[in-house]
Structure 1
Amino acid sequence: MGTPLGDFIRAKRDSIQPDTLGLPDRGRRRSPGLRRSDLAARAGISVEYLTRIEQGRDRNPSTPIVHALADALSLDAAERTHLRYLAKISGGECAGRTRPAPAPREVRTAVLDILRLLEPGIAVVTNRLGDILAHTPGYALLMGPSGLLDTDTPNLTRYVFTHPAARTFFADWDAVADEQAFDLWLGPSIDSSEWLSTELAHLAGPDFTTRLNRHTVPTRGPLRIDHPTAETLTLTRETLELPDDAQQLTVHLPADDRTAQALDHLRPQVTRLRAIS
Structure 2
Amino acid sequence: MIEGELGSFLRARREAVQPEEVGLPRGERRRTPGLRRAELATLAGISVEYLTRLEQGRDRRPSTQVVAAVADALRLDADDRLHLHHLVALSQGTGLVCARGCPEQEEVPAGLLALLDRLEPTPAVVVRRHAELAAWTDAFDGLVRPLGMLDGEAPQLLHYAFADPRSRTAVPDWAAFADALVRWVHLQGGPDTAQLVGALAASLGPEFSTRYDARPTGEPDLGLGAVLHPEVGLVRLTSEVLLARDGLTVAVLLPADGAAQAALDRLAGWVPGALRRISS
Give the TM-score range, shorter chain. 0.7 to 0.9
Q: Is the 8 A contact 2:183 2:215 kept in 1?
A: yes
Aligned position for 1:228? 230
- Superposed CA deviations along residues 210-238 of structure 1, whole A, max 9, x for unmatched, are 11112120475761112122211111111
Q: Quote the offset at 1:73 in angstroms.
A: 3.2
- Three-state SS of the structure 2 residue aligned to 1:190 is coil
Letter in 2 for 1:83: L
Aligned position for 1:84? 88
- Superposed CA deviations along residues 61-80 of structure 1, whole A, max 9, x for unmatched, are 43325565345435444222
- Superposed CA deviations along residues 84-140 of structure 1, whole A, max 9, x for unmatched, are 157459xxxxxxx9xx99833422211111111111211111123111111000010
Aligned position for 1:212? 212
With over 3 angstroms needed to count, the CA separation of the structure-2 counterparts of 1:85 and 1:207, relative to structure 1, is: farther
Which of structures 1 and 2 has the larger relative contact order (alpha carbons within 8 angstroms, sep 6+)? 2
Output the TM-score relative to the length of structure 1.
Answer: 0.81
Question: How many correspondences in the alignment?
Answer: 261
Aligned position for 1:109? 110
Q: Is the 8 A contact 2:182 2:216 kept in 1?
A: no
Output the TM-score relative to the length of structure 2.
Answer: 0.80
**Is 2:26 aligned against 1:24?**
no
Aligned position for 2:262? 261
Letter in 1 for 2:242: L
With over 3 angstroms needed to count, the CA separation of the structure-2 counterparts of 1:275 and 1:253, relative to structure 1, is: same
The answer to which of 181-190 and 11-20 deviates more is 11-20
Aligned position for 2:15? 14
- Three-state SS of the structure 1 residue aligned to 2:154 is coil
Q: Quote the offset at 1:252 in angstroms.
A: 0.8
With over 3 angstroms needed to count, the CA separation of the structure-2 counterparts of 1:251 and 1:232, relative to structure 1, is: same
Distance in structure 1 (CA, Å) of the matches to 2:158 and 2:170: 14
With over 3 angstroms needed to count, the CA separation of the structure-2 counterparts of 1:239 and 1:4, relative to structure 1, is: closer
Specify every segment of 5 or more residues in structure 1 that has no aligned partner in the other structure, as ranges: 90-96
With over 3 angstroms needed to count, the CA separation of the structure-2 counterparts of 1:138 and 1:10, relative to structure 1, is: same
Specify every segment of 5 or more residues in structure 2 that has no aligned partner in the other structure, as ranges: 94-99
Q: Quote the offset at 1:37 in angstroms.
A: 2.3
User: How do 1:147-226 and structure 2 match up within 5 A?
Assistant: 147-187=148-188, 189-191=190-192, 193-218=193-218, 223-226=225-228
Q: Is the 8 A contact 1:66 1:87 kept in 2?
A: no
Aligned position for 1:62? 61
- Once superposed, what is the RMSD of the aligned Cα atoms? 2.9
- Three-state SS of the structure 2 residue aligned to 1:63 is coil
- Superposed CA deviations along residues 166-192 of structure 1, whole A, max 9, x for unmatched, are 11111111111111112112336331x
Letter in 1 for 2:273: T
The answer to which of 178-187 and 31-40 deviates more is 31-40
With over 3 angstroms needed to count, the CA separation of the structure-2 counterparts of 1:151 and 1:27, relative to structure 1, is: closer
User: How do 1:231-242 and structure 2 match up within 5 A?
Assistant: 231-242=233-244
Letter in 2 for 1:271: G
The answer to which of 41-50 and 222-231 deviates more is 41-50
Aligned position for 1:94? none
Distance in structure 2 (CA, Å) of the matches to 1:131 and 1:115: 17
The answer to which of 154-163 and 262-271 deviates more is 262-271
Distance in structure 2 (CA, Å) of the matches to 1:150 and 1:24: 51
Aligned position for 2:97? none
Indicate the percent of aligned positions where both proteins have the same amino acid. Answer: 39
